[in-house]
Structure formats: structure tokens, C-alpha cells
Amino acid sequence: MVSEENILQFSKQCENIFRQIRRDVIGQTEVVEGTVIAMIAGGNVLLEGVPGVGKTRLVRTLGRVFDLPFSRIQFTPDLMPADVTGTNIIVKDESGNSTFQFQPGPIFSNIILADEINRATPKTQSALLEAMQEHTVTVMGVSRKMNEPFFVLATQNPVEQDGTYPLPEAQMDRFMFKLIVPNPGLEELMQIVDMTQKTMDEVAEAACTGDQLLKMRATANQIPVAEEVMRYAMKLCSATHPDSEYASAAAKKYIRLGASPRAGQALISAAKVKALMLGRFNVSYGDIDSLAFPVLRHRIKLNFEAIAARVTADEIIRMIVEELSGKRDGARGAKAADVNVPAQESAPAENAAEAAPAASAAEPTEEAASKKRKRGFLGRK
């Protein structure tokens, strides 16, 4: 059971992690926070941004802060799967006989930087699928476990499309988050230039070990989630399917294919970590709404109408969140109104009972008036 002391320790540990990252990475607050949340939750991250915005530097800094072995794979069109996973090579033993010996590839590390992952062929991209999901690598029929904790942090450039291969849906779905790395602002740009003029070396120090990271993950998994919050998160995922009974208006209009069940798993796991970061013991609706963008933006496929109207995935997710939030608030208001209905209904009932005798007393008067109208001026019919 998670105690208040565990929550305070978790929060302080995260503050120390962010403090060390800020020594090497200027700005990019949302990107840094999302990457740390995914690492603690045990997910993989896809960073998308133009060249020079600090994607590779961020990953190197994370390796230093978490004190974990770091490996970089530069993806190119001629990269082969064996260059990633490793292969068996022939070696001579002590007696001079030739034997096969497995030579591990760069994927056998704790933090993997898959730089420009969309430049490799689909055959090579698929070499990461098993490692990202099952944390195992199978070569020549032999499966080998990866060292824990294990993360894949991939980058891709959205501008250059020549010589690139879009990631297949199966691989995109294995990334917990897709984070958009924006260009720095004016003040951030001045700080970046000023810092790099002094030194290009990373100065961040270790703030967390691999064992501590695994303990933080175990602590986050014990955080309870209210049934209504869980139901709201699952409705949010179902609302992205245009053929679902909970389909939103935006999904019916703009989405061709909705999010998979992995989206629901990612929402809840990440929301638990975010709640602990903020020193809370429970997951809130706000945690789900804020994490919907990095979790869903790469899991929904837009139809032709959305592409023709230039509607982005983030805009569609915002429409869905606003629609579900409005329904949620409306349901709350209806429940609050139902609580006050019995007290209000008794008063109209009493008034109706009081009005009934008065109405009955008034009826003879109206009947007498009608009889008088039937008689003439002299009282005859």
C-alpha cells in the first residue's frame, strides 16, 4: 500500500530529476515532462521535430540523469536488422574448433536512441517491434531478455520526406507517447546560445538509478483509479472510433481508424505517474484530458475529409475532449438537480391539493352563470 511518505519521496525524486535535466536542456517543459512520465511508466516515446531543436541532446541527458547505459542507432536506408539486434559470428575456441558466438547489437542497452527512425526500411524498423513490446530479442531461434529498465526513444523529422519510410501502424502503436518538439522561443534561444558558447558538454548529474526507477514504477502502479475516472478514460478511447456506440461527432466526421486498447493502458499508466508527480494520491479528470494528446495523436488515422480540410489530429482530439467534458459536466448537473427534485415536488403537490377545493367551489358559480345566460332578460327561456 502506498503511504504519504512514498508520495512525498516520489515527488521529491521527480523534482530532482527535472532539476538536473534543466541544466542541459533549455525550455521544452512539456516534452521533458512527457518523456520522464513515459520512462517511469515503462513506455516508449517518439519525438518529432525539425533538426536542431535538441531531441538527441535530451536523450543523452536522460541517460546521464538516470545513470543508465545509453546506445545510439543512426537509422539509414542501408541499415539491416542484424545491425540492430546483433548476429551470430564464427569464432575459434581454445581447441581451434569453429563455433557460433552471438555478438549483441546496440539494442542491448537500457536507453536506446533510434535517431531518424523513419529513414530505415520497414524490414529494419520491424526489428524493434519485439524489443519494444516484449523486451526480448530473438536471433536464430534464441530469445534473449533485455536489461531492465528498457526504453526506446525514437526521433523523426517531419519536414524531409524524400528517402523516408513512414512507420507502420503496428510500430506507432507501441509508442506510449508521440511528443512534438517545438522551436524555442526568443528567450530560450538566447539561453541556448549563451550556454553553448561556454561549453557543449552535458553537465547534468545522476539523479536516479535504474533500481530506483523500477521502484518508482512499482509505486505508481499501486495508485488507485476511481471507477468514474476509469470509465471516462475508456470512453475517451472509444470516442475515437467512428463506428463505436460512444463515437463523438468529430470522430464520425474526421477519423477513419480509432485508437487501440493500448491507448487506454497508456492513459491510465501515465495518469498515475503524473498524479504522483503533483503529490496527489488519486488520478483526476484533468490528468486524463492533458495526457490524451500525446497518447492519441499517433494512434488515430484521419480520413480524406480531415486531410482536405487540413484538420490536425490535435484539433480533433481537442474536439473529442471538449465534447466528453461537456457531457460529463452535464451529467453532474443532472445528478445535482435530481437531489433537489423531491423537496421541490412536494410543494407543487400541496399547492395542487389546495387549489382543487377552490376549483370545485368555483365550478357551481360558473354553472349558475351559464344558466343565467340561457334565460332571457325577463328570466324566461
SS3 256: strand
Per-range mean pLDDT, top range of 176-185, 186-195, 198-207: 176-185
For residue 91, what are the β-bridge partners? 99
SS3 137: strand
Name the one residue in this structure whose C-alpha cell is 533538426: 51
- Alpha carbons within 13 angstroms on the beta-carbon side of residue 256 total 8
Q: Would you state the cell numbers that stand for residue 130, as one nine-digit string?
A: 519485439
- Cα–Cα distance between 68 and 41 in angstroms, integer? 16
63-72, 109-118, 308-317, 335-344: range with lowest mean pLDDT = 335-344
Instruction: Quick: pLDDT tens for 210-224.
Output: 888 898 898 888 888
pLDDT the model gives residue 339: 54
- Cα–Cα distance between 320 and 329 in angstroms, integer? 14
> What's the pLDDT band for 288 if we cut at 50, 70, 90?
very high
- Cα–Cα distance between 279 and 11 in angstroms, integer? 6
Picking from 146, 59, 81, 66, the residue whose alpha carbon sits closest to that of residue 108 is 146
- Cα–Cα distance between 153 and 58 in angstroms, integer? 10
Task: Confirm or reject CATH 1.10.8.80 for domain 223-344, answering yes or no.
Answer: yes
> What's the pLDDT band for 177 if we cut at 50, 70, 90?
very high
pLDDT the model gives residue 374: 45
Alpha helices in the chain (DSSP H): 4-21, 29-41, 55-65, 81-85, 122-125, 129-134, 169-172, 186-198, 210-221, 227-238, 249-254, 261-277, 285-296, 304-308, 313-374
* The Cα angle at residue 104 between residues 101 and 107, in degrees rounded to 5: 160
- Cα–Cα distance between 158 and 107 in angstroms, integer? 24
Which residues, in sequence order, are CB contacts of 224 under 8 Å at separation 6+?
A: 281, 282
Query: What number is the average pLDDT over the span 7-31?
Result: 86
Q: Are 19 and 207 in contact (CB under 8 A)?
A: yes
Q: Would you state the cell numbers that stand for residue 19, as one nine-digit string?
A: 532539476
Picking from 57, 168, 66, the residue whose alpha carbon sits closest to that of residue 109 is 66
Q: What φ, ψ does residue 318 adopt, rounded to 5°?
A: -60, -40
CATH of domain 1-222: 3.40.50.300
Question: Which long-range contacts does 274-277 make (Cβ < 8 Å, 24+ apart)?
Answer: 274/37, 275/223, 276/7, 276/10, 276/11, 276/14, 276/219, 276/220, 276/223, 277/10, 277/11, 277/14, 277/33, 277/37
Picking from 48, 44, 31, the residue whose alpha carbon sits closest to that of residue 312 is 48
9-18, 332-341, 355-364: range with lowest mean pLDDT = 355-364
Domain segments of the chain as ranges: 1-222, 223-344
Give CA 15 to chain center in angstroms. Answer: 21
Query: What number is the average pLDDT over the span 103-132?
Result: 85
* The Cα angle at residue 363 between residues 357 and 368, in degrees rounded to 5: 145
- Cα–Cα distance between 35 and 268 in angstroms, integer? 16
> What's the pLDDT band for 333 if we cut at 50, 70, 90?
low
Task: Compute the Cα dihedral for 44, 77, 122, 83 and give only its sign.
Answer: negative
What pTM was estimated for this model as a whole?
0.79
Picking from 209, 221, 220, the residue whose alpha carbon sits closest to that of residue 17 is 209
> What's the pLDDT band for 239 if we cut at 50, 70, 90?
very high
What average pLDDT does the structure give for the chain? 81
For residue 46, the 8-state DSSP code is E
Burial of 175 (0-12, 13-18, 19+ CB in 10 A): buried
Which residues, in sequence order, are CB contacts of 41 under 8 Å at separation 6+?
A: 176, 217, 220, 266, 269, 270, 272, 273
